[in-house]
Amino acid sequence: MAIQAGRNPQAFDGLVNTPVCRGSTILASSLEEWEARKLPNNPYASYGRFGTATTRALESSVARLEGGHASLVFPSGLAACAHALLAVVRSGDHVLITDSVYGPTRHFATHVLSRLGVEVEFYGPHETTGLRSRLRRNTRLVFVESPGSLTFEIQDIGAIAEQARTVGALVIMDNTWATPLFFKPFEHGVDISIQSATKYLIGHSDALLGVATANARAWDRLREGAHDLGQTAGPDDIFLALRGIRSLGVRLRQHESNGIALAQALRAHPLVRRVLHPALPDDPGHRLWRRDFLGASGLFAIELQPVGQAQLSTLFSRLQLFGIGLSWGGYESLALPVGTPTRSVSQPALEGPLIRIHAGLENIQDLIDDFSQALSAARLALS
């Protein structure tokens, strides 16, 4: 499906890839055609802002891969998160958001939704049955992210969705870590699933894009909310996402293999206190991960033993194959010091620095050797 979805060579003179369609104005050949293009809730639908063949190819591909009703493209992953939230809530609503949510999504909720009169409440990512006590008659949505950002907690999405239904709340999920290949959100009761296509869908660290996919229940609200706020994305970035999806399966298998092997190797180093990776058998979320997920990506974290800034600086200065930078999901390996994650109700018990690692597509033994020698150099600097 990842190879075939969104392609229609017969419509483009046999071209195997949907071409890059650039355009703002879309002409009608007659007044009757112009009138026929109008939609009941969008009389201006015949306009480049509402998509071209390139846009529709990506949206239909992601919707099929995730198992949703339809998708919309946004200029970034955060834009997809923000507009999915805005499409659902109104002043006076109450929303529940996992405490392990992506940091910019947290900031948007606390600074923008709160300013608009929406009450934002965070819940612990391990809360399942206890979530029922937080639900209210005006709870409009529950936002989940699994694994959690930076600390990689696995949530029981199905159980959370079942409870959300008791008050009519929608469930929105950030599914970027697993991608549509390794977690099927709509099979677990999610209403809107979000992908930061910047990460694995594009896969080459050369474009920014987001996609939100809805089931039939939530589609009209997502579509109308996005259109009201004028969201659109450029065709070149959309084409790069379509290109990335074609190799997503083989890339993810390598990211998964490298990530697990690297996590297992680093766990044995004396400077590493803990590895946070749900695919490891001793991880607290491993049982749920095995039950609900079809695989793992290359992103995880390690907690070091207590060290000072000088030792941390030594570690990063010695790394040769791991860049220091935001984002992830590309072919390259990254290591990022993340400090103490912002939490409201579930602060993780950290004794040493937390480092987020993305295992890229390099040779796995090279990655293990590089990180191990950097850790050893930092440990030696302690003495």
Q: How many residues does the chain have?
A: 383
Residues 6 or more apart whose CB falls under 8 angstroms from that of 69 comprise 63, 213, 214, 215, 216, 219
Please name the amino acid found at residue 257: S
Q: Using an 8 Å Cβ cutoff, are 372 and 265 in contact?
A: yes
Q: 327-340 in b/e burial notation, b at 16+ Cβ within 10 A?
A: ebbbebbbbbeeee
Q: What span, in angstroms and rounded, lies between the C-alpha atoms of 161 and 298?
A: 27
E-only strand ranges, the chain: 70-74, 94-98, 119-123, 139-145, 170-174, 192-195, 210-214, 272-276, 299-304, 322-323, 333-337, 354-358
- Residue 193, helix vs strand vs coil: strand
The catalytic position among 7, 99, 102, 370 is: 102
The catalytic position among 93, 174, 191, 292 is: 174
- Residue 177, helix vs strand vs coil: coil
Please name the amino acid found at residue 261: A
Would strands 94-98 and 354-358 be described as parallel, antiparallel, or unpaired? unpaired
Q: What span, in angstroms and rounded, lies between the C-alpha atoms of 275 and 189?
A: 30
Q: What span, in angstroms and rounded, lies between the C-alpha atoms of 121 and 22?
A: 42
Which of 248, 263, 258, 260 is closest to 332 using CA atoms? 258
Q: Using an 8 Å Cβ cutoff, are 320 and 365 in contact?
A: no
Active site residue 49: yes
Active site residue 174: yes
DSSP 40-106: TTBTT-SSGGG--HHHHHHHHHHHHHHT-SEEEEESSHHHHHHHHHHHH--TT-EEEEETT--HHHH
- Residue 27, helix vs strand vs coil: coil
The catalytic position among 7, 140, 199, 379 is: 199
Active site residue 199: yes
Active site residue 220: no
- Report, as residue numbers or ranges, the catalytic residues: 49, 102, 174, 199
